C-alpha cells in the first residue's frame, strides 16, 4: 500500500519540548568546525543561525559585535551552510548574503562551505533592519571564502528575493520546481520508508536566499507551502521529513461562537477590540495537530536518536509557566493535549497521570479526576516521557535505541523508531504525533505569529547534540462561516450572528439558525440545500503581502480546498458528499477545480480547489455551494432524520494525507 504526502515547511511543533535538559553529552576530543564573524547593526540578544543543506542547524548569540558558531559533528563539515539572523524575540530576522567581486561585478551567494575542523572567518556581516537582510563581502583575509549557491533575483546590493517576505516569492516565476502533494512512499508494517537523498531540507530550492526549512514558500510559486498550488503527484521532492498542520474548528451547533472577520468587524468596530476578541476566540479553538518524523540530522548511519525536544526560547507564547495576573495579561504555557490511538495511547496513558492516580483515561478531560494531567510543553522531553510511561507501568519499551518490537499502528501513531531518518531497514527514524495548544487569551495574535523560529533539538547515541530550525507559516485565524441557507424549493434564510438570540432560556450562539436547537429544515422530497459562506481569514504578513490591496490586517484565504461531510445526529456513521453532489461558485467568478479522490489512497477525498487569490475580506465576497444530499454517500434522506454537516476549508495534503484545516458545522433535519 502507498500513501501520498505533502511536506509543509515552516511550522514544526512536537509533543516534546523546550527547557528540558538532554541526556549527558560526551563529545570526542577532535577539533571543532567553526564559523566566526563580526556582526553590525543588530540588537542585543540577536542570534546568528547556520543552516546546513541537510537541514541541520546551529546558532550562537551575538556578543560584543561578534559571534562564533560551532557546527555539529554529526553532519558533513564541508557541507553547504547558509547564514541567518534571529531577532531577540525569537522571530526570523533575515538571511545573510555573501558577495564576491570580480572587476566591477559582484556576484551574490547564499551559502559557504565550512572548512572541516577549522575556524572559517565570514568577515563583517552588516544587518539592515529596514531591509531585513544582512550581507558580507569576501575580501582581504576572506577573499578565498568558499562560497556556493548563487542567489537568483538578488538585488545589486545583495538583498535576496525572499528577504523581508519570509520567503514568499516576489515573483511566481522564481522557480519551476514543484513540491506538490504526492511523493509516493512504501508503506511497510506501518512505517514510512524514506530515502535520505529525498530531503534537501536546508537547501534553497527557489534560490531566494531562504533555506526550505525557513521559507514559507520554498518552491517559489507565490503560495505558502501549506496551501501550495503546484499541481500533480509525480516528480515532486519533499523538503524535509516533518510536517505539522493547524486546526481551527467552530460549530454553530456546538455552542461556540462562529469565527469570521465579516461577523466580528460588525460587532467590534474598534480595531484593537476586534483583535482582542478574535484572540480570545482563536485561543479557545486553535489547535496545532502535529506530526514529526526526524529530519536528516546526521550523516552517520550508526547513530540513533536518544532524545528530542523543542526550543522556542524568546518567543512570547513559549513559556515554561503561566504568566500574567489579569485576563488581559494572562498567557498560558502551551500544553500538550493528551490523546491518541494505536501504540502512542500507551505513552499518554502512563506518562501523564496525575499525582496519586492509579489509572488514567486519555479520553477524559484534564479537569476530570480520572483524566490525564494537562502537560506543559516545557515539562517533557521525549526521553523523559517514554521513561516515565515505562516506570508507571506502560507495556512498551522506554529505553532508546534498542527497540526491536515495534508494534505498527499504521505509522501515524508510532512514537519512536530506532534509526535516524534515511537509515536502517525501514528508513523511518524518530516519529512522534501530538496535539499542542499555544495559548495567549487576549494576547494570542500578538504572541503567536508567522515568522516565529522554532528549533527541534536532539541528542544522538554518541552523546552529540543536533538540531533543526524552522519558521511558523501563516495559519487560520478564522473559519469558513455559513450565513445563508436556502432549502430546495424554499426561501433563503439568513443567519444573524450579531443580534443576540435566545431559545429555551439559552442565549446565543446555540440558538442560531443551523444550530441543534434550530436545525435547517430540508424536504426529503427535494433534498437540496444552498449555503452561502465567507472564506476563512489569516493575518496579513508584513512584506510578504504588501502587494495585496488594502490595509486591513486580515486577509481572505484563497487557494483552499473545500468539501462537505456529515454524520447522523441520531447515531450512525459519517457520510460524505462527493464533488458530484456539490456545485460551487463565488461572487468574483473564480474557478473552482474539481479534485477527485485518489483510489490508491484510503485517506484521499474529493475536494473543490478554489482558484481565487488571497484578498481583503468583504461581506459581499462569498462562496455559494449547493448540496444534493441524495448524492451523498451514507446519508439517509428520510423524513425525521437529523444530520450535522461539516464544511471544511483546507490546505494541500501533508504527510499521511492530513491537511491544515478550518471548518464549521451546521445542522439539518429532513422533513416530509
- Secondary structure (DSSP) of 623-649: EEEEEEGGGSBT----TT-EEEEEEEE
pLDDT in tens, 578-601: 899 999 999 999 999 998 887 776
Shared domain for 444 and 551, answered yes or no, is no
Overall average pLDDT of the 30-41 stretch = 90
Instruction: State the pLDDT at residue 594.
Output: 92
Shared domain for 288 and 407, answered yes or no, is yes
Overall average pLDDT of the 308-321 stretch = 80
Q: 251 lies in which domain range? A: 239-471
Overall average pLDDT of the 398-417 stretch = 30
Domains contained in the chain, number? 2
Shared domain for 278 and 363, answered yes or no, is yes
Determine, yes or no, domain membership for 154.
Answer: no
Shared domain for 424 and 390, answered yes or no, is yes
- Check pLDDT > 90 for residue 275: yes
pLDDT band at 487 (very low <50, low <70, confident <90, very high): very high
Shared domain for 425 and 540, answered yes or no, is no
Shared domain for 382 and 527, answered yes or no, is no
Cell of 143: 577573499
Instruction: State the pLDDT at residue 56.
Output: 83
Shared domain for 564 and 642, answered yes or no, is yes
Q: Which span out of 281-285, 520-524, 632-636 was modeled with the highest average pLDDT?
A: 520-524
CA distance 544 to 605: 31
Determine, yes or no, domain membership for 298.
Answer: yes
- Check pLDDT > 70 for residue 91: yes
Query: How many CB atoms are closer than 10 A to CB 218?
Result: 34
Instruction: State the pLDDT at residue 249.
Output: 59
CA angle 419, 421, 427 (to 5 degrees): 70
Q: Which span out of 74-78, 208-212, 228-232 was modeled with the highest average pLDDT?
A: 208-212
Shared domain for 547 and 425, answered yes or no, is no
Determine, yes or no, domain membership for 323.
Answer: yes
Shared domain for 467 and 530, answered yes or no, is no
Point out the least confidently predicted range of 175-189, 220-234, 483-497.
175-189
Q: What is the mean pLDDT of the chain?
A: 75
CA dihedral 537, 540, 546, 552 (to 10 degrees): 80
In the DSSP assignment, the letter for residue 21 is P
Q: Which residue has the cell 462561516?
A: 481
Determine, yes or no, domain membership for 301.
Answer: yes
Instruction: State the pLDDT at residue 25.
Output: 30
Overall average pLDDT of the 557-575 stretch = 80
pLDDT band at 625 (very low <50, low <70, confident <90, very high): very high
Q: Which residues lie across from 379 on neighbouring strands?
A: none
- Check pLDDT > 90 for residue 562: yes
Residues near 594 by beta carbon (within 8 Å), at least 6 away in sequence: 579, 606, 608, 609
CA distance 122 to 444: 38
Overall average pLDDT of the 335-353 stretch = 62
Give Cα separations from 606 to 568, 577, 579, 589, 631 (angstroms): 20, 8, 6, 21, 13
Instruction: State the pLDDT at residue 1.
Output: 24
End position of a domain, from candidates 441, 471, 501: 471
pLDDT band at 29 (very low <50, low <70, confident <90, very high): very low
Stronger pLDDT, 296 or 578, i.e. the higher one: 578
End position of a domain, from candidates 471, 500, 528: 471
Shared domain for 666 and 520, answered yes or no, is yes
Percent of the chain with pLDDT over 70: 67
CA distance 7 to 56: 17
Instruction: State the pLDDT at residue 5.
Output: 24
Determine, yes or no, domain membership for 261.
Answer: yes
- Check pLDDT > 60 for residue 347: yes
Determine, yes or no, domain membership for 277.
Answer: yes
Shared domain for 295 and 439, answered yes or no, is yes
End position of a domain, from candidates 471, 503, 538: 471
- Check pLDDT > 60 for residue 231: no
Determine, yes or no, domain membership for 107.
Answer: no
Overall average pLDDT of the 613-622 stretch = 95
Q: Which span out of 93-97, 284-288, 497-501, 601-605 was modeled with the highest average pLDDT?
A: 93-97
> Which ranges of 239-379 does DSSP label H, i.e. alpha helix?
261-267, 271-285, 344-351
Determine, yes or no, domain membership for 419.
Answer: yes
Shared domain for 464 and 498, answered yes or no, is no
Amino acid at each position: 500500500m502507498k500513501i501520498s504526502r505533502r511536506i509543509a515547511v515552516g511550522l514544526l511543533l512536537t509533543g516534546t519540548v523546550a527547557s528540558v535538559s538532554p541526556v549527558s553529552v560526551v563529545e570526542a576530543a577532535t577539533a571543532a568546525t567553526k564559523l566566526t564573524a563580526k556582526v553590525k547593526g543588530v540588537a542585543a540578544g540577536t542570534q546568528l543561525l547556520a543552516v546546513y543543506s541537510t537541514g541541520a542547524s546551529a546558532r550562537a548569540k551575538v556578543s560584543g559585535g561578534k559571534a562564533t558558531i560551532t557546527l555539529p559533528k554529526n553532519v558533513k563539515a564541508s557541507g553547504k551552510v547558509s547564514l541567518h539572523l534571529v531577532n531577540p524575540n525569537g522571530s526570523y530576522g533575515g538571511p545573510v548574503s555573501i558577495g564576491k567581486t570580480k572587476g566591477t561585478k559582484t556576484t551574490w551567494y547564499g551559502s559557504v562551505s565550512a572548512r572541516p575542523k577549522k575556524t572559517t572567518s565570514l568577515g563583517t556581516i552588516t544587518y539592515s533592519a529596514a531591509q531585513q537582510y544582512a550581507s558580507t563581502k569576501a575580501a582581504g583575509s576572506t577573499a578565498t571564502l568558499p562560497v556556493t549557491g548563487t542567489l537568483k533575483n538578488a538585488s545589486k546590493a545583495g538583498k535576496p528575493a525572499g528577504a523581508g517576505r519570509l520567503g514568499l516569492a516576489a515573483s511566481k516565476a522564481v522557480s519551476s520546481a514543484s513540491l506538490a502533494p504526492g511523493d509516493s512512499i512504501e508503506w511497510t508494517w506501518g512505517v514510512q520508508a524514506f530515502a535520505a537523498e529525498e530531503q534537501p531540507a536546508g537547501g534553497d530550492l527557489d534560490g531566494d536566499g531562504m533555506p526550505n526549512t525557513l521559507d514559507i514558500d520554498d518552491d517559489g510559486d507565490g503560495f505558502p507551502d501549506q496551501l501550495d498550488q503546484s499541481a500533480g503527484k509525480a516528480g515532486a521532492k519533499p523538503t524535509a521529513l516533518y510536517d505539522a498542520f493547524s486546526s481551527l474548528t467552530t460549530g454553530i451547533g456546538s455552542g461556540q461562537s462562529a469565527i469570521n472577520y465579516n461577523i466580528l468587524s460588525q460587532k467590534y468596530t474598534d480595531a484593537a477590540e476586534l483583535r482582542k476578541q478574535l484572540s480570545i476566540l482563536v485561543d479557545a479553538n486553535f489547535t496545532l495537530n502535529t506530526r514529526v518524523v526526524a529530519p536528516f540530522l546526521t550523516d552517520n548511519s550508526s547513530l540513533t536518536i536518544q532524545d528530542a525536544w523543542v526550543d522556542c526560547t524568546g518567543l512570547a507564547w513559549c513559556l515554561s509557566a503561566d504568566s500574567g495576573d489579569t485576563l488581559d495579561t494572562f498567557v498560558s504555557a502551551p500544553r500538550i493535549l493528551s490523546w491518541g490511538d494505536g501504540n502512542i495511547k500507551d505513552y499518554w496513558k502512563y506518562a501523564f497521570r496525575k499525582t496519586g492516580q492509579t489509572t488514567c483515561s486519555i479520553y477524559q478531560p484534564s479537569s476530570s479526576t480520572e483524566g490525564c494531567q494537562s502537560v506543559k510543553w516545557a515539562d517533557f522531553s521525549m526521553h523523559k516521557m517514554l521513561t516515565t510511561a515505562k516506570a508507571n507501568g506502560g507495556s512498551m519499551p522506554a529505553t532508546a535505541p534498542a527497540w526491536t518490537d515495534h508494534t505498527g499502528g499504521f505509522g501515524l501513531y508510532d512514537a519512536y523508531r530506532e534509526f535516524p531518518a534515511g537509515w536502517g531497514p525501514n528508513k523511518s527514524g524518530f516519529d512522534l504525533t501530538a496535539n499542542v495548544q499555544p495559548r495567549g487569551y487576549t494576547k494570542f495574535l500578538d504572541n503567536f505569529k508567522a515568522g516565529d523560529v522554532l528549533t527541534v533539538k536532539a541528542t544522538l547515541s554518541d552523546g552529540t547534540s543536533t538540531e533543526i530550525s524552522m519558521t511558523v507559516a501563516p495559519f487560520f485565524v478564522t473559519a469558513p462561516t455559513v450565513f445563508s441557507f436556502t432549502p430546495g424549493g424554499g426561501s433563503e434564510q439568513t443567519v444573524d450572528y450579531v443580534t443576540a438570540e435566545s431559545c429555551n432560556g439559552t442565549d446565543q450562539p446555540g440558538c442560531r439558525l443551523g444550530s441543534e436547537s434550530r436545525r435547517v429544515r430540508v424536504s426529503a422530497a427535494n433534498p437540496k440545500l444552498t449555503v452561502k459562506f465567507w472564506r476563512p481569514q489569516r493575518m496579513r504578513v508584513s512584506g510578504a503581502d504588501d502587494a495585496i490591496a488594502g490595509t486591513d490586517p486580515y486577509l481572505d484565504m484563497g487557494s483552499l480546498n473545500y468539501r462537505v461531510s456529515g454524520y447522523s445526529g441520531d447515531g450512525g456513521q459519517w457520510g460524505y458528499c462527493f464533488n458530484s453532489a456539490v456545485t460551487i461558485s463565488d461572487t468574483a467568478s473564480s474557478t473552482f477545480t474539481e479534485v477527485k479522490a485518489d483510489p490508491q489512497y484510503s485517506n484521499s477525498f474529493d475536494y473543490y480547489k478554489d482558484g481565487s487569490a488571497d484578498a481583503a475580506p468583504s461581506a459581499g465576497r462569498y462562496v455559494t455551494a449547493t448540496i444534493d444530499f441524495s448524492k451523498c454517500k451514507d446519508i439517509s434522506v428520510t423524513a425525521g432524520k437529523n444530520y450535522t454537516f461539516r464544511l471544511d476549508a483546507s490546505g494541500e495534503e501533508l504527510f499521511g494525507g492530513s491537511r491544515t484545516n478550518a471548518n464549521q458545522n451546521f445542522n439539518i433535519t429532513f422533513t416530509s
